[in-house]
């Protein structure tokens, strides 16, 4: 009996680039993240929304391998890390993964940038950490990366502390994508920027998502940002995922009472 | 028979001032330091009759190394006759009975503050450098626990970031004395505040270099024939201080490390910083026969290992 062969849908053929299962993080008696699964495909952007203290940023810190987990597995679909649970790596290899495969943009630029080092130096730091020791290459790559994130190049040797908030975010972004990582983590990248600058940064992010086929996770409490950028969205509350699905579906037809409240609370 | 007759005759001090346990600990720590080139080994820095910060680290190493057959030279910024050097030399000689000299070729132990002699050191010589601050990462990482982690991970990216910043801001490396070096391709090491001029002399040197910080209670070593490379970029190279156009007013020597002596009329004279070497040159000028060893830099300013210093003149940095 010959079975009829169909091509599987693209999402079924493509393996998820970033896959985390059963993330748990406790701070003393408080459980900040309680069994969260995150799956992101190449070129896809996953939005995480939720109120303050719902565990969104903690999930991002776990994905950035910044903190030790209390449970869960984390895989990146890359040849060198095939079947390796990244949470099991030692400090040295964790650092390698963080440098080469994960880029992050924090809400607070002070967390992501050295304020007393030039902007180009902040971007070059990534390359230096990965072992680049040629000044001309560092310079060229920093310039390219800053140009991609639409940073004004005549200010590339200014200290970040002298830059505006939007420009600081662009430096962070340039630093995050300097090594063409597999995963890009954005923690409220546009919060605190005024609306016109926010729109410009969003434009940059949309263009980058199109150009670089990387897995992106964006955390925001601004549903407008999520609707503009994210393909899929995950709604978190008290450390758990209460609802997830395609962005339009979740935001237009919320099923969970909390999501309904969140969507309607928009001014 | 009385107990006093059986006991060893009373002495004022142990041999080499330090007690036997202190010397044994130091020697063990030195062996460890030699086994792991560039690695900072902690030790229990003992009290000495000079204050911390005046060479106690180097002094402890010298006292536990020296035996009656050794010949000692003590240098302070190149000079044998400064108060500090003279005091240390007298103290070590009195405590260990070593012979003293100002001739770098004749000495078996050379304790030095901030200089390496101009004449090439040989096998079976030990250079003991006094170190005020053993941690090369202090400027980029003020937290010492974190700095030790960085050493453990060989994570020295921040040093190259600081080089990058220097080039962007000043178009050249601005590090002066105590220029950080990579030892044996593994540990980043502060070579003590020797001028950049002296830094290359540690590379593949036949002599043993011991560096010791008494106040910070750490010692480290460069064993003989070990790679020592100053940090630099692949395309922008480390340079030593230019001594071009400087001629020693006393000896007529050129292309050696010079001290600048300001004159009342606003000009400057230059004098050899290494007084032991200058002394020999003067003797030779007087017609005496002296044996002067080969120097690290020849009379044209070329370093004795061709190709080690990749750039002598300034480079134009394109930003």
Q: Which chain A residues have a beta carbon less than 8 Å from that of B237? A: none
State yes or no: pLDDT of A3 exceeds 70.
Answer: no
Q: Which pLDDT value is given to residue A4?
A: 61
State yes or no: pLDDT of B135 exceeds 60.
Answer: yes
> Residue A90: closest CA among chain B residues belongs to which residue?
B153
Inter-chain touch A135–B161, beta carbons under 8 Å: no
pLDDT tens-digit series, residues B52-70: 999 999 999 999 999 999 9
With contact defined as beta carbons under 8 Å apart, do B222 and B37 qualify?
yes
State yes or no: pLDDT of A12 exceeds 70.
Answer: no
Q: Which chain A residues have a beta carbon less than 8 Å from that of B233? A: 133-135, 138
Inter-chain touch B235–A157, beta carbons under 8 Å: no
pLDDT tens-digit series, residues A214-262: 899 999 888 888 998 899 999 999 999 999 999 999 999 999 999 998 8
Helix axes A135-148, B157-170, angle to 10 degrees: 80
pLDDT tens-digit series, residues A127-182: 999 999 999 999 999 999 999 888 999 999 999 999 998 899 999 999 999 998 99
Inter-chain touch A129–B233, beta carbons under 8 Å: no
Calculate what percentage of chain B has a pLDDT beyond 70. 99
Half-sphere exposure of A5 (CA within 13 A, CB side): 2
Q: Which pLDDT value is given to residue B317?
A: 79
Q: Which pLDDT value is given to residue B6?
A: 86
B140 in contact with A, Cβ within 8 Å: no
**What band does A263 get if pLDDT is binned at 50, 70 and 90?**
confident
Averaged pLDDT, B152-172: 94
Is 3.40.50.11310 the CATH classification of the domain at B20-134+182-229? yes
State yes or no: pLDDT of B233 exceeds 80.
Answer: yes
**What band does A64 get if pLDDT is binned at 50, 70 and 90?**
very high
State yes or no: pLDDT of B156 exceeds 80.
Answer: yes
> Residue A93: closest CA among chain B residues belongs to which residue?
B153
Q: What does the alpha-carbon distance between residue B178 and residue B195 come to, in Å, rounded to a whole number?
A: 7
Residues A67-98 as b/e (b if ≥16 CB within 10 A, e otherwise) read eebeebebbbbeeebeeeebbebeeeebeebb
Rounded CA Rg of chain A: 19
Quick one: B307 exposed, middle or buried, by C-beta within 10 A (0-12, 13-18, 19+)? exposed
Domain boundaries, chain B: 20-134+182-229
Half-sphere exposure of B247 (CA within 13 A, CB side): 4
Q: Which pLDDT value is given to residue B79?
A: 95
B170 in contact with A, Cβ within 8 Å: no
State yes or no: pLDDT of B205 exceeds 60.
Answer: yes
Q: Which chain B residues have a beta carbon less than 8 Å from that of A95? A: 153, 155
Q: Which chain A residues have a beta carbon less than 8 Å from that of B157? A: 125, 128-129
Averaged pLDDT, A51-71: 91
* pTM of the full structure: 0.90
B292 in contact with A, Cβ within 8 Å: no
Q: Which pLDDT value is given to residue A2?
A: 53
Q: Which chain A residues have a beta carbon less than 8 Å from that of B169? A: 118, 157
Inter-chain touch B235–A129, beta carbons under 8 Å: no
pLDDT tens-digit series, residues A128-138: 999 999 999 99
Q: Which chain A residues have a beta carbon less than 8 Å from that of B319? A: 139, 157
Q: Which pLDDT value is given to residue A267?
A: 54
Bridge-based pairing of strands B181-183 and B228-230 is antiparallel
At a CB cut-off of 8 Å and minimum separation 6, what does B125 contact?
A: B107, B108, B109, B110, B206, B207, B208
Spatial CA neighbour of A56 closest among A231, A190, A232, A188: A188
Average pLDDT, chain B: 94
Helix axes B83-96, B56-65, angle to 10 degrees: 30
B318 vs B45 pLDDT, higher one:
B45
**What band does B296 get if pLDDT is binned at 50, 70 and 90?**
very high
State yes or no: pLDDT of A24 exceeds 90.
Answer: yes
Q: Which pLDDT value is given to residue B29?
A: 97
Q: Which chain B residues have a beta carbon less than 8 Å from that of A125? A: 157-158, 161
Q: Which pLDDT value is given to residue A6?
A: 65
Q: How far apart are the first and last CA of chain B?
A: 86
pLDDT tens-digit series, residues A181-215: 999 999 988 887 888 888 888 888 888 888 888 89
Q: And the tokens for B181? A: 């070096």
State yes or no: pLDDT of B10 exceeds 80.
Answer: no
Inter-chain touch B168–A157, beta carbons under 8 Å: yes
State yes or no: pLDDT of A10 exceeds 70.
Answer: no
Q: Which pLDDT value is given to residue A76?
A: 93
The partner residues of A23 in beta bridges, in order of sequence, read A36
Inter-chain touch B165–A118, beta carbons under 8 Å: yes
Question: Residue for token digits 């101009």?
Answer: B118
Of residues B158, B169, B235, nearest to A135 (C-beta): B235
């Amino acid at each position: 009996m010959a079975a009829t062969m169909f091509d599987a849908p693209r999402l079924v053929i493509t393996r998820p680039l970033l896959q985390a299962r059963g993330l748990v993080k406790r701070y003393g008696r408080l459980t900040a993240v309680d069994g969260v699964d995150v799956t992101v495909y190449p070129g896809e952007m996953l939005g995480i929304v939720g109120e303050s203290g719902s565990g969104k940023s903690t999930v991002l810190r776990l994905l950035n391998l910044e903190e030790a987990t209390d449970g869960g597995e984390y895989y990146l679909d890359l040849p060198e890390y095939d079947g390796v649970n990244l949470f099991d790596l030692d400090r040295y290899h964790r650092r390698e993964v963080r440098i080469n495969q994960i880029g992050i943009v924090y809400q607070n630029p002070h967390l992501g940038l050295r304020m007393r080092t030039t902007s180009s130096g902040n971007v070059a730091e990534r390359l230096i950490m990965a072992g680049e020791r040629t000044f001309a290459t560092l310079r060229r790559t920093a310039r390219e990366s800053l140009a991609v994130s639409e940073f004004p190049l005549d200010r590339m040797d200014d200290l970040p502390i002298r830059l505006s908030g939007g420009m600081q975010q662009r430096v962070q972004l340039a630093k995050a994508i300097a090594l063409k990582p597999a995963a890009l983590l954005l923690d409220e990248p546009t919060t605190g920027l005024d609306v016109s600058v926010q729109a410009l940064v969003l434009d940059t992010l949309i263009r980058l998502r199109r150009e670089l086929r990387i897995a992106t996770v964006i955390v925001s409490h601004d549903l407008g940002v999520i609707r503009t950028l994210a393909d899929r969205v995950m709604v978190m509350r008290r450390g758990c995922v209460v609802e997830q699905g395609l962005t339009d579906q979740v935001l237009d037809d919320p099923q969970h009472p909390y999501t309904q409240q969140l969507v309607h609370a928009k001014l | 028979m009385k107990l006093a007759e059986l006991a060893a005759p009373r002495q004022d001090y142990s041999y080499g001032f330090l007690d036997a346990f202190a010397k044994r600990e130091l020697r063990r720590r030195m062996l460890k330091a030699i086994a792991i080139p560039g690695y900072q080994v902690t030790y229990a820095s003992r009290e000495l009759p000079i204050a911390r910060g005046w060479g106690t680290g180097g002094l402890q190493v010298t006292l536990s190394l020296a035996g009656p057959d050794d010949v000692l030279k003590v240098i302070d910024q190149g000079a044998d006759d400064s108060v500090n050097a003279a005091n240390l030399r007298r103290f070590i000689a009195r405590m260990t009975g070593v012979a003293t000299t100002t001739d770098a070729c004749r000495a078996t132990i050379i304790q030095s503050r901030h200089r390496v002699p101009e004449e090439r050191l040989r096998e079976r010589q030990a250079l003991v450098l006094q170190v005020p601050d053993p941690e090369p990462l202090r400027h980029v990482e003020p937290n010492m626990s974190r700095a030790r982690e960085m050493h453990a991970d060989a994570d020295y990216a921040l040093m190259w970031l600081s080089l990058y910043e220097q080039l962007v801001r000043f178009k050249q490396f601005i590090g002066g004395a105590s220029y950080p070096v990579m030892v044996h391709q593994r540990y980043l090491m502060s070579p003590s505040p020797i001028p950049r001029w002296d830094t290359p002399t540690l590379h593949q040197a036949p002599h043993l270099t011991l560096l010791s910080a008494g106040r910070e209670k750490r010692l480290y070593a460069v064993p003989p024939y070990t790679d020592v490379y100053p940090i630099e970029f692949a395309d922008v190279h480390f340079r030593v201080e230019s001594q071009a156009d400087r001629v020693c007013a006393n000896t007529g020597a050129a292309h050696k490390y010079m001290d600048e002596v300001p004159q009342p009329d606003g000009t400057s004279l230059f004098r050899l910083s290494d007084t032991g070497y200058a002394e020999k040159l003067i003797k030779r000028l007087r017609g005496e026969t002296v044996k002067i060893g080969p120097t690290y830099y020849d009379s044209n300013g070329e370093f004795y290992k061709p190709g080690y210093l990749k750039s002598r003149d300034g480079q134009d940095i394109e930003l």
